[in-house]
């Protein structure tokens, strides 16, 4: 006999109802990937099953192991409307920082994207705009906290005289400046060049200030 996830994906209403009536907790049960019947019904366009699950306690904002809600993977306009009517949050970001607007657009579920954008009161973005946004976010994410820490420590080692308060301010300044430089770069190579130039400029400025102070 099919389990709750398979039965929902197959649109087997009788089997789903049988399982849920035996154990209500199955409505929001997660498999090894965090996939739930709510995700299955949304993805496979089973409006009647989705409504049944919601009526029996289905969580419209439940997430799988990738941080996706049922709205993230929704493929059907009517299913999307039903989720939104029951307070599905269209602004939730998954583990990749993508909202249902982004994921449905990438999945070519344009009608779903339109429904979500209408709910948010925004224009439907173009797919290339989403891709550019993801690329820019990827550049920023490529600079990890550890790398920023190494950069800050290296810069501080080149400062002859500094008190603890100045070190904290300098560390914050370098981190913010480098992150901003990466955000406005067109590609990774340009970003690295900008970061290198920033370090050189900042180091020179600090060193000069310290020299003048020591004099």
Overall domain count for the chain: 2
Least confident residue range of 20-24, 81-85, 203-207, 210-214: 203-207
115/22 same-domain check: yes
CATH of residue 38: 1.25.40.20
Choose one of 70, 99, 125: the last residue of a domain.
Answer: 125
Q: Give the pLDDT mean for 1-7.
A: 96
pTM of this structure: 0.64
- Sign of torsion, CA 175 181 183 188? negative
Choose one of 125, 155, 188: the last residue of a domain.
Answer: 125
pLDDT score of 95 more than 90: yes
47/95 same-domain check: yes
Q: Contacts by 94-101 with C-beta closer than 8 Å and gap 24+?
A: 94/63, 94/66, 94/67, 94/68, 94/69, 95/66, 95/67, 96/66, 96/67, 96/134, 97/134, 97/137, 98/72, 98/134, 99/72, 100/69, 100/71, 100/72, 100/74, 101/125, 101/130
13-53: per-residue pLDDT in tens?
Answer: 999 999 999 999 999 999 999 999 999 999 999 999 999 99
Q: 47-55 vs 13-22: helix axis angle to the nearest 10?
A: 10
Range of the domain at 56: 4-125
Residues in the chain: 215
pLDDT score of 195 more than 50: no
Inside any domain, residue 131 = no
* Mean pLDDT of all residues belonging to the chain: 79
């Amino acid at each position: 006999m099919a389990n709750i996830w398979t039965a929902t994906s197959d649109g087997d209403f009788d089997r789903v109802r049988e399982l849920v009536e035996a154990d209500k907790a199955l409505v929001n049960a997660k498999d090894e990937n965090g996939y739930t019947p709510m995700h299955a019904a949304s993805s496979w366009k089973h409006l009647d099953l989705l409504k049944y699950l919601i009526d029996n306690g289905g969580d419209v904002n439940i997430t799988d192991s990738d941080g996706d809600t049922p709205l993230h993977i929704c493929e059907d306009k009517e299913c999307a409307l039903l989720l939104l009517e029951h307070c599905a949050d269209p602004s939730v970001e998954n583990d990749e920082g993508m909202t249902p607007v982004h994921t449905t657009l990438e999945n070519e579920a344009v009608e779903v994207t339109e429904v979500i954008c209408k709910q948010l009161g925004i224009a439907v973005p173009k797919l290339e705009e989403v891709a550019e946004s993801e690329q820019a976010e990827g550049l920023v994410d490529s600079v990890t906290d550890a790398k920023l820490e190494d950069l800050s420590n290296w810069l501080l080692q080149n400062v002859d005289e500094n008190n603890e308060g100045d070190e904290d301010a300098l560390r914050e300044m370098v981190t913010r400046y480098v992150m901003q430089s990466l955000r406005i770069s067109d590609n990774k190579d340009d970003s690295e060049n900008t970061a290198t130039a920033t370090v050189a400029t900042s180091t020179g400025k600090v060193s000069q200030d310290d020299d003048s102070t020591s004099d």
